[in-house]
């Protein structure tokens, strides 16, 4: 496949990554809020919404197809249109008597479309921009992905909360909310159709070359040096966070009689989805700056601690059951700031793991294992919470930092990787 470098990345990178962030956060996180407000149990929420990670886990299976057939632009535009239809389906089926089954089915379709959209969008970024442009725009790319998260987890949830209050019917409120999301996705798809450049030609390889390339994608990834240790790190680095993220929403939104804090949907959207995501963004920016200055080696352990230690503050929230929003807001800000800072090391390591040929597919493989590290612990998080209660659950989340920090100290990589002056230094 031949291609030319794209011009005016300022025009298309922001909208492309905004459209990557919104469906992901709606499917993975806002679905938890929706099901909590519609009365689904924590065990079912933890299990079934964690299973929505599966398309991101197995996307490496079909990521070479995106590499080998068609163009990245055709793929992500098609998937974004599918996502518009999916969210419309969620909105229309929310009032049904068997809404949990029907909306989950649509979310499943959306998860596959969103994962494929991620592959194609990341591939577009990697092939359309020169290496120096990739480094320069990585901050902008991340910023607009996070703005997508704020839009979904903040603005959309606030809208849902407003509709809950004004309509007095949570079911109708979330139905209208998802229809609004469908319209937003359609608008963004049209914008991307207009702004994204045509930098690729159709693949002209013969079938034998395609089969060889398809197999080489996996062979070259799984024969990388220290691959077992690298994948262990990818799977365990967020062991605690993967469970916390599933139960934080039910905890903050749940009735005090069940151990929750009883925060309203709109306040949740403001605290966790807006202020919290802004803190997450600031932490990520700071993390990128210090790694660019000093390299990954200096910051891996501090960032691992930053990601995990703030989770312990939820223990205090669970035991003290504070009234008002001040204490929960402070905890969310600290936790999300630390998570953003610590997550920077994780993302830079994934970039290192994808180095070499087939960058698009190897990055998809790496992020697939990342999703697996979120999916499996998240699936059992609701059962653990119901067994231990919220205080015991958050203590367990704190204990889960131990294997994460052991892997952070053990994983192998060039210590100067990510350093602006020389990202190719070896240990």
Tell me the pLDDT tens digit for each residue of 273-313. Answer: 788 888 988 888 898 888 888 888 999 999 999 999 999 99
- Report the 10 Å Cβ neighbour count for 263: 22
Is this model's pTM higher than 0.75 or not? yes
- Note the pLDDT of residue 358: 75
What's the sign of the alpha-carbon dihedral 341, 378, 22, 117?
positive
Domain 7-198 has CATH 1.20.1250.20: yes
- Note the pLDDT of residue 384: 95
57 within 8 A of 184, measured Cβ to Cβ? no
Three-state secondary-structure class, residue 200:
strand
Three-state secondary-structure class, residue 420:
coil
Residue 144 has pLDDT above 50, yes or no: yes
- Note the pLDDT of residue 3: 47
Identify the CATH number of the domain defined by range 226-422: 1.20.1250.20
Residue 270 has pLDDT above 70, yes or no: yes
Confidence of residue 415 (pLDDT cuts 50, 70, 90): confident
Tell me the pLDDT tens digit for each residue of 11-48. Answer: 888 889 999 999 999 999 999 999 999 999 999 999 99
Residue 120 has pLDDT above 60, yes or no: yes
- Note the pLDDT of residue 276: 87
Residue 91 has pLDDT above 60, yes or no: yes
Beta strands in 204-349 (DSSP E): none
More confident residue, 298 or 214: 298
Do the domains 7-198 and 226-422 sit in the same CATH topology, yes or no? yes
Residue 209 has pLDDT above 90, yes or no: no
Residue 425 has pLDDT above 50, yes or no: no
Residue 244 has pLDDT above 70, yes or no: yes
More confident residue, 141 or 170: 170
What are the residue ranges spanned by the domains of the chain?
A: 7-198, 226-422
Mean pLDDT across the chain, nearest whole number?
87
Q: Alpha-carbon distance 99 to 91, whole Å?
A: 10
Residue 349 has pLDDT above 50, yes or no: yes
Residue 365 has pLDDT above 70, yes or no: yes
Three-state secondary-structure class, residue 3:
strand
Task: State residue 3 phi and psi, 5-degree precision.
Answer: -155, 160
Q: How large is the average pLDDT for residues 240-252?
A: 91
């Amino acid at each position: 496949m031949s291609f030319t470098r794209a011009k005016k990345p300022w025009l298309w990178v922001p909208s492309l990554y905004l459209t990557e962030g919104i469906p992901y956060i709606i499917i993975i996180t806002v679905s938890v809020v929706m099901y909590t407000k519609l009365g689904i149990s924590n065990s079912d929420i933890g299990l079934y919404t964690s299973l929505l990670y599966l398309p991101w886990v197995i996307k490496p299976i079909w990521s070479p197809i995106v590499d080998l057939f068609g163009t990245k632009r055709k793929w992500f535009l098609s998937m974004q249109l599918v996502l518009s239809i999916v969210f419309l389906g969620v909105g229309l089926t929310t009032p049904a008597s068997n809404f949990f089954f029907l909306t989950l089915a649509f979310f499943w379709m959306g998860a596959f479309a969103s994962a494929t959209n991620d592959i194609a969008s990341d591939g577009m970024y990697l092939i359309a921009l020169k290496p120096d442009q990739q480094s320069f725009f990585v901050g902008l790319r991340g910023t607009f992905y996070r703005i997508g998260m704020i839009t979904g987890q903040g603005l959309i949830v606030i809208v849902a909360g407003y509709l809950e209050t004004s309509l007095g019917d949570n079911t109708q409120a979330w139905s209208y909310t998802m229809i609004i999301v469908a319209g937003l996705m359609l608008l963004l798809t049209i914008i991307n159709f207009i702004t994204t450049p045509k930098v690729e030609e159709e693949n002209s390889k013969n079938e034998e070359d395609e089969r060889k390339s398809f197999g080489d994608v996996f062979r070259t990834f799984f024969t990388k040096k220290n691959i077992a240790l690298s994948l262990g790190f990818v799977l365990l680095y967020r062991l605690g966070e993967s469970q916390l993220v599933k139960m934080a929403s039910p905890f903050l939104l749940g009735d005090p009689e069940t151990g929750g804090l009883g925060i309203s949907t709109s306040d949740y959207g403001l605290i966790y989805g807006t202020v919290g995501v802004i803190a997450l963004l600031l932490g990520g920016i700071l993390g990128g700056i210090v790694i660019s200055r000093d390299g990954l080696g200096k910051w891996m352990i501090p960032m691992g601690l930053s990601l995990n230690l703030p989770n312990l503050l939820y223990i205090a929230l669970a035991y003290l059951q504070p009234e008002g929003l001040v204490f929960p807001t402070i905890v969310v800000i600290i936790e999300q700031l630390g998570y953003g800072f610590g997550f920077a090391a994780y993302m830079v390591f994934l970039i290192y793991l994808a180095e070499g040929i087939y960058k698009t597919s190897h990055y998809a493989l790496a992020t697939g294992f990342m999703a697996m590290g979120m999916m499996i612990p998240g699936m059992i998080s609701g059962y653990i919470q119901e067994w231990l209660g919220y205080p015991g659950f958050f203590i367990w989340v704190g204990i889960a930092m131990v294997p994460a920090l052991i892997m952070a100290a053990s994983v192998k990589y060039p210590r100067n990787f990510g350093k602006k002056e020389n990202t190719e230094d070896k240990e």
